[in-house]
Amino acid sequence: MHCNVRFLSFLSMCLGAVAVGTMALAVGTDSWLFTEEETIKSIENGTLKFTAHIRTGLWRLCIIMDYDYPDICVNVGYENADEGREEGQETSMAIMRANRVSTVFPVITLVLLVTGFTVSAIGNIQGDIKTLIGSVVYISGGLTFAVGIILYISSINDEVGHRQYNESGDLVFQYSYGWSFYFAGLAFLFTMLSAVVQISLFLKRNSKKDDMIKIIPGLDGVLLDPEDEIPGGASNPTIIL
């Protein structure tokens, strides 16, 4: 399928905008992880056993209330989190403590995506090498997010491995990833697609000999034009080594 420069420019901008929007929505919402855990609390006349339904984001933890009551949310203070695992701590809380390292990666990714989108937009307007630079920034953001999501999933699996069983042998802790987590995954996909389109756009704009010489100084003396006659009858641009 033949795509012209204008279509590729429009497609790259759309993909980049969607990537920035979905990542910003994922970072700013509190639906990364949904947990269900049996909890026992001591009260004056004995103990109280109940099942806590919790949803967590990167910055807040919310207790899902029944009926029509609003969820109770509290901010997570990572700066006061100590190293190590506390015995007897609820798994949901332990996961939040363990994720303090991986939390910074989606934020860095969002900053890189905004930077890449800005540079790419300038490159599309001016038609210069900023298009390629924007794609490199996009790829860097995607790799940063990949590292962060691996740490995020690993920390959850590590904490879940220490969950307890009740007397009947059933698990007292269950979890599932929320829509914020999947939005971040979509942002990663759109980021990589935008980078590929940006690279294709840059190569399409700079397919001539003069353009290649501007990009890579010093090719003027070693790059032959397609019209130049060379031994063997080859007609494609050739670099003489």
Residues 205, 131 contacting (CB under 8 angstroms): yes
49-72 tens-digit pLDDT: 667 778 888 888 887 766 666 767
Higher-confidence position of 109 and 35: 109
Residue 28 has pLDDT above 60, yes or no: yes
124-135 tens-digit pLDDT: 888 788 888 999
210-235 tens-digit pLDDT: 656 566 555 555 555 555 544 554 44
Residues linked to residue 62 through DSSP beta bridges, in sequence order: 55, 73
Report the percent of the chain where pLDDT is more than 90: 32
Residue 81 has pLDDT above 80, yes or no: no
In degrees and rounded to multiples of 5, residue 47 shows phi and psi of -125, 150
Higher-confidence position of 75 and 197: 197
Task: Give residue 21's pLDDT.
Answer: 95
Residues 98, 33 contacting (CB under 8 angstroms): no
pLDDT bracket for residue 79 (50, 70, 90): low
What distance in Å separates the CA atoms of residue 132 and residue 151, rounded to the nearest whole number? 29
Task: Give residue 163's pLDDT.
Answer: 61
